[in-house]
C-alpha cells in the first residue's frame, strides 16, 4: 500500500538523519588541551578556602594566561569541578576525556571575555550545588565554541580542593505540614471506622 | 447459587443499572459509567491502585536531584530501589486475608491512608538511610493490587472477570508511567513558579501524591461498597459469606509445583516492569544527557503502554485458549515473555537515543502483555486456592524485581546498560520454565494431556472426602465444567451459561481419585 510504504520511508529517513546528526560535532579531548591558563580560587578577602556554604558565601576566582603560551580565544569559562573523592561510586560525575561526555565540571561559575592580561570574578555559590569537594577549572573558548586551552586550581583533583557545605532543603514549615497531614490521615481513617461501627450498631438496635 | 440479595431489602427486588447474574455480579463492564455499585467500585479500585503506584515510583524521576541532596552513591540508590519493591512482598501476601476479614473497601482504604504518612515523610529525610526506609514503607501500598483484584472479582461475573481484572490491573500500573511525567513537572512548578531551591522543591513535590492518598482513601470509604448487595460487615452478620479452611487452602496452593513456577515467572514479567520503572529515568538522564523533564517523559512512555498492553495480553491469551486450548495459552505466554527478554538485551545495547526509546517501548509492550497473559493461566491452576495463588504470584513479581535490581543495578562494577543486557538474558532463561507447566487434562507446551484425566477430577480433588460429602466442592465442579473450553477448538462458540448447568450425578464417582498437581 502506498501510504504504508511512505510511512516506512519516513521512518527510515528519520532514523538515518538522527544517526548522522549524532556524529556531526567534532571531539575535543581534554588530554590534548594545552595547560596555558593559571587559575586560583580564594575567599573574597584573599584567604584560602577551607569550607564554604552555598547560598551564603562567595569565592573569588582569578585567572591569567601563562606568559609563554599563545592562546587564540574569544571567551573564558570558569567551572566548579568535582574532586576525585567526590566522584567515587558516582558514575554520573565520571571523568571522560571527550569533553562532550565529561561530567567532572557540572556547575558554571562565569563566562567572561578573554584577555591576555587575565581577569577575575566573584561567585556566590548557588543553592543547588550539592555538598562535595571541589576545585575550579577554566576553559578558553574560541569563536567556534570549542575549548582551546585549560587550567585548574588543583594539579591532580586531590590536592588543593575545598569543601562546599550544601543546604539541607528542609524547613520547619515542611516538618510541621508533614506532621499535621500524617496525623489527619490516620485519625480520619480510624474516626470513620469508629463512626461507622457506632452507626451500624445504632441501626441494628432500632 | 442461593439468592443472597433478596433478604436484605424489605421491598424485594433490587434495580441495578447494569445487567446482573444471580449473585448480583455485573455481566458487562461500562467503562464510562459511574453507576453504583459495580462501576463505581471498579473505578475506585483501579484509581486507588493507580495512586499507590504513583507514590511508590514518585522518587525515581527525581533521583538526579535527590542523589545530590542526600549525597548518595550508586549502591545507596540501588538499595532504596530494592527496598521500594520488597516491602510489598509481605503486604501482598497478607492483603488477601485482610480482604477476607474486613472486605476490600476497608482493606484498601486502610492501606492507602496508613501509608500516607510514609509518602509525606519524604519531605523530612536527611540521608540515604532515611530515604531507603521511606521508600520501603511507601512500597507496602502496592498490596492494593490484591484488594483491587478481589473487589473487581466480587463485582463482576466470571465470564468477564478476566477482562475486567486486566483493565483494572493495567490501568493501575499506569501510575508508574504517569508519575514519571508528573513528578518532574510538579518539581519544576515549585522551583520555577514558587522560587524554591532544588533541594526544597523536590520535598514539596511529594505532598501531591501524599494528598492523593488521603483524598482517595476518603472517597473509597464514602462512596465504595464491598459487594453488589452491601458491605462486607453487614453481610457477614447475616451469614452471607462462606468461610474456607485457610490452612487447607494454603496447603493446596503451596504443594502444587505450578504455583512456584508462576512465582518465578511473574518476577520476570511484572518484576522486570517494576525494575525498569525504578531505573529508566535515571538511565536516560545520565546516558543520553537529557534534562529531568525529557528523561521523565521518555520513561513514562514505558509505563503508559499499560493502558492497552496488559489488557491486550489477557485478551490474546483468551483468544489463544479458544482456538488452541491451554497449550495455546502456554505458547503465547512463552513467546511474548521471551520476546520481552530479547528486547531488553537490545535496549542495553542501543547507544543512540532513538534506538533506545523504540526498544524500550517495544520491551514494555511485550513484558506487560506477558503480565496479562500470566493471569490468563493462573485462574486455572486451582479453583479452591485461587486467592492464595494470586497473592503468591503477585509476591513473586516483587521478589523478581528485588532480585534483578540487587543483581544488576546496585553495584558500581558495571554500568546500567550492561545490567539491562544481563537482565534480558535472565528473562529469556527463566521464561523457559513455562515448558514445565503440565495440566493432566490439557497437557503442556510439548506433551499431550493424560488420557484418563478430566477437568472435574482435577478441581474436585482439591476438596477432602468429608468436604465433598458436605457439598462444598460444588462451585469447583461448576468451574470445572466451564473450563472445558480450555481444550481448544471452540472458535466462536461460547461456553454454556454456568447458572444453567447442573452437574450429572455420575461425576460423583470421580470424586475419590486423587491427583498430584
Q: Note whether B329 and B320 are within 8 A (CB).
A: yes
Q: Quick one: DSSP state of residue A58?
A: E
Mark residue B3 as left, alpha or beta (left: phi above 0; alpha: psi -120 to 50; beta: remaining).
beta
Q: Does B62 touch chain A (CB under 8 A)?
A: no
Q: What is the pLDDT of residue A18?
A: 58
Centroid of chain to Cα B248: 24
Q: What is the pLDDT of residues B76-117, one digit of tens each?
A: 999 999 999 998 888 888 887 787 778 888 999 999 999 999
Q: What is the pLDDT of residue B1?
A: 35
* pLDDT value at A13 more than 60: yes
Rounded to a whole number of angstroms, the distance from the CA of B24 to the nearest CA of chain A is 23
Q: Reduced to 3 states, what is the DSSP secondary structure of residue B441? A: coil
Number of Cβ within a 10 Å radius of residue B47: 19
Query: Pairing state of beta strands A162-165 and A51-53?
Result: parallel
Torsion angles phi and psi, residue A164, rounded to 5? -110, 130
Q: Report the alpha-carbon distance of residue B278 to residue B187 in Å, rounded.
A: 18
Q: Report the alpha-carbon distance of residue B188 to residue B195 in Å, rounded.
A: 10
Which chain B residue has the Cα nearest residue A201? B234
Torsion angles phi and psi, residue B493, rounded to 5? -85, 125
Torsion of CA A138, A140, A141, A146, to 10 degrees: -80
Q: In sequence order, what DSSP letters do the residues of B406-448 get, joined into one string?
A: HHHSS-TTS-HHHHHHHHHHHHHHHHGGGGG--BTTTB-SSSP
| pTM of the model as a whole | 0.81
Q: What is the pLDDT of residues B108-150, one digit of tens each?
A: 999 999 999 999 999 999 999 999 999 999 999 999 998 888 8
Domains for chain A: give ranges and CATH numbers. Answer: 28-165 (2.60.40.2550)
Test the A interface: residue of B219, B354, B358, B417 with most A CBs within 10 Å: B354
**Pairwise CB contact (< 8 Å): B204 & A55:** no
Q: What is the pLDDT of residue B6?
A: 35
**Pairwise CB contact (< 8 Å): A185 & B113:** yes
Q: Which residues of chain B have pLDDT under 70?
A: 1-15, 22-23, 158-159, 161-162, 232-246, 489-517
Q: Measured between beta carbons, which residues in chain B are less than 8 angstroms from residue A14? A: 354
Q: What is the pLDDT of residue B166?
A: 80
Torsion of CA B162, B167, B169, B170, to 10 degrees: 130
Whether a cis peptide bond, with omega within 30° of 0, leads into B123 is: no
Q: Reduced to 3 states, what is the DSSP secondary structure of residue B440? A: coil
Torsion of CA B342, B344, B346, B351, to 10 degrees: 180
Q: Report the alpha-carbon distance of residue A106 to residue B378 in Å, rounded.
A: 50
Q: Reduced to 3 states, what is the DSSP secondary structure of residue A42? A: strand
**Pairwise CB contact (< 8 Å): B117 & A174:** no
Q: What is the pLDDT of residue B517?
A: 23
Number of Cβ within a 10 Å radius of residue B466: 8
| Locus of grid cell 494470586 | B390
User: Which of the listed CATH numbers 1.10.1740.10, 1.10.645.10, 1.20.1250.20, 3.40.366.10 matches domain B37-222+255-444?
Assistant: 1.20.1250.20
**Pairwise CB contact (< 8 Å): B199 & A169:** yes
Rounded to a whole number of angstroms, the distance from the CA of A199 to the nearest CA of chain B is 12
A12 HSE (CA, 13 A, CB side): 6
Torsion angles phi and psi, residue B142, rounded to 5? -65, -10
Helix-, strand-, coil-residue percentages of chain A, each rounded to 5: 30, 30, 40
**Pairwise CB contact (< 8 Å): B213 & A185:** yes
Q: Report the alpha-carbon distance of residue B93 to residue B143 in Å, rounded.
A: 8
Residues 177-236 of B with CB under 8 A from A: 197-200, 202-204, 207, 210-211, 213-214, 217-218, 221, 233-234
Q: Compute the average pLDDT of residues A59-71.
A: 86
In the structure grid, which three cell numbers stand for residue B83, read together?
527496598
Q: Quick one: DSSP state of residue B59?
A: S
Q: Measured between beta carbons, which residues in chain A are less than 8 angstroms from residue B67? A: 90, 92
Amino acid at each position: 500500500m502506498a501510504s504504508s510504504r511512505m510511512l516506512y520511508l519516513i521512518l527510515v529517513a528519520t532514523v538515518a538523519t538522527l544517526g548522522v546528526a549524532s556524529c556531526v560535532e567534532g571531539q575535543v579531548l581534554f588530554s590534548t588541551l594545552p595547560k596555558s591558563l593559571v587559575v586560583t580560587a580564594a575567599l573574597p578577602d584573599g584567604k584560602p578556602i577551607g569550607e564554604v556554604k552555598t547560598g551564603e558565601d562567595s569565592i573569588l576566582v582569578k585567572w591569567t594566561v601563562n606568559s609563554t603560551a599563545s592562546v587564540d580565544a574569544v571567551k573564558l569559562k570558569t567551572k566548579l569541578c568535582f574532586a576525585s573523592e567526590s566522584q567515587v561510586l558516582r558514575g554520573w560525575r565520571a571523568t571522560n576525556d571527550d569533553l562532550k561526555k565529561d561530567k567532572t565540571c557540572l556547575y558554571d561559575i562565569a563566562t567572561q571575555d578573554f584577555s591576555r592580561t587575565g581577569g577575575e570574578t566573584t561567585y556566590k555559590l548557588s543553592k543547588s550545588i550539592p555538598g562535595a569537594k571541589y576545585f575550579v577549572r577554566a576553559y578558553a573558548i574560541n569563536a567556534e565554541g570549542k575549548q582551546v586551552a585549560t587550567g585548574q586550581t588543583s594539579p591532580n583533583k586531590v590536592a588543593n580542593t575545598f569543601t562546599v557545605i550544601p543546604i539541607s532543603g528542609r524547613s520547619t514549615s515542611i516538618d510541621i505540614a508533614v506532621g499535621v497531614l500524617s496525623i489527619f490521615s490516620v485519625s480520619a481513617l480510624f474516626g470513620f471506622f469508629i463512626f461507622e461501627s457506632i452507626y451500624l450498631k445504632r441501626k441494628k438496635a432500632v | 447459587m442461593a439468592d443472597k440479595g433478596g433478604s436484605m431489602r424489605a421491598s424485594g427486588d433490587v434495580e441495578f443499572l447494569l445487567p446482573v447474574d444471580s449473585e448480583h455480579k455485573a455481566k458487562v463492564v461500562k467503562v464510562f459509567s459511574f453507576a453504583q455499585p459495580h462501576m463505581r467500585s471498579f473505578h475506585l479500585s483501579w484509581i486507588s491502585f493507580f495512586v499507590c503506584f504513583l507514590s511508590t515510583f514518585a522518587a525515581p524521576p527525581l533521583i538526579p536531584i535527590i542523589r545530590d541532596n542526600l549525597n548518595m552513591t550508586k549502591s545507596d540508590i540501588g538499595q532504596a530501589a530494592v527496598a521500594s519493591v520488597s516491602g510489598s512482598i509481605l503486604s501482598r501476601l497478607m492483603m488477601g486475608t485482610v480482604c477476607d476479614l474486613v472486605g476490600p473497601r476497608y482493606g484498601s482504604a486502610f492501606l492507602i491512608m496508613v501509608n500516607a504518612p510514609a509518602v509525606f515523610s519524604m519531605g523530612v529525610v536527611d540521608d540515604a538511610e532515611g530515604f531507603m526506609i521511606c521508600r520501603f514503607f511507601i512500597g507496602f501500598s502496592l498490596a492494593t493490587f490484591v484488594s483491587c483484584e478481589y473487589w473487581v472479582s466480587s463485582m463482576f461475573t466470571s465470564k468477564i472477570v478476566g477482562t475486567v481484572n486486566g483493565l483494572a490491573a493495567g490501568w493501575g500500573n499506569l501510575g508508574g508511567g504517569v508519575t514519571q511525567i508528573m513528578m518532574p513537572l510538579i518539581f519544576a512548578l515549585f522551583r520555577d513558579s514558587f522560587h524554591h531551591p532544588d533541594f526544597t522543591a523536590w520535598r514539596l513535590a511529594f505532598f501531591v501524591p501524599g494528598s492523593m492518598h488521603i483524598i482517595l482513601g476518603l472517597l473509597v470509604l464514602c462512596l465504595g461498597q464491598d459487594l453488589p448487595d452491601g458491605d462486607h460487615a453487614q453481610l457477614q452478620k447475616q451469614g452471607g459469606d462462606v468461610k474456607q479452611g485457610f490452612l487447607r487452602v494454603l496447603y493446596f496452593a503451596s504443594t502444587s509445583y505450578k504455583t512456584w513456577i508462576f512465582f518465578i515467572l511473574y518476577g520476570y514479567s511484572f518484576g522486570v516492569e517494576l525494575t525498569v520503572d525504578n531505573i529508566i529515568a535515571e538511565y536516560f538522564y545520565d546516558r543520553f544527557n537529557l534534562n529531568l523533564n525529557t528523561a521523565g517523559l521518555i520513561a513514562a512512555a514505558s509505563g503508559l503502554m499499560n493502558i492497552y498492553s496488559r489488557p491486550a495480553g489477557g485478551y490474546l491469551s483468551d483468544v489463544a485458549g479458544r482456538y488452541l486450548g491451554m497449550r495455546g495459552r502456554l505458547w503465547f505466554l512463552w513467546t511474548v515473555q521471551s520476546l520481552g527478554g530479547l528486547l531488553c538485551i537490545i535496549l542495553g545495547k542501543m547507544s543512540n537515543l532513538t534506538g533506545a526509546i523504540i526498544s524500550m517501548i517495544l520491551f514494555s509492550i511485550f513484558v506487560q502483555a506477558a503480565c496479562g497473559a500470566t493471569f490468563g493461566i493462573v485462574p486455572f491452576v486451582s479453583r479452591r486456592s485461587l486467592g492464595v495463588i494470586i497473592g503468591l504470584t503477585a509476591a513473586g513479581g516483587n521478589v523478581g524485581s528485588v532480585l534483578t535490581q540487587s543483581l544488576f543495578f546496585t553495584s558500581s562494577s558495571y554500568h546500567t546498560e550492561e545490567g539491562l543486557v544481563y537482565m534480558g538474558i535472565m528473562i529469556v532463561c527463566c521464561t523457559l520454565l513455562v515448558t514445565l507447566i503440565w495440566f493432566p487434562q490439557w497437557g503442556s507446551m510439548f506433551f499431550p494431556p493424560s488420557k484418563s484425566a478430566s477437568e472435574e477430577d482435577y478441581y474436585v480433588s482439591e476438596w477432602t472426602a468429608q468436604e465433598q460429602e458436605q457439598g462444598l466442592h460444588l462451585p469447583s465442579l461448576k468451574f470445572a465444567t466451564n473450563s472445558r473450553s480450555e481444550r481448544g477448538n471452540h472458535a466462536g462458540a461460547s461456553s454454556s451459561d454456568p447458572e444453567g448447568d447442573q452437574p450429572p450425578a455420575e461425576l460423583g464417582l470421580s470424586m475419590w481419585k486423587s491427583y498430584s498437581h
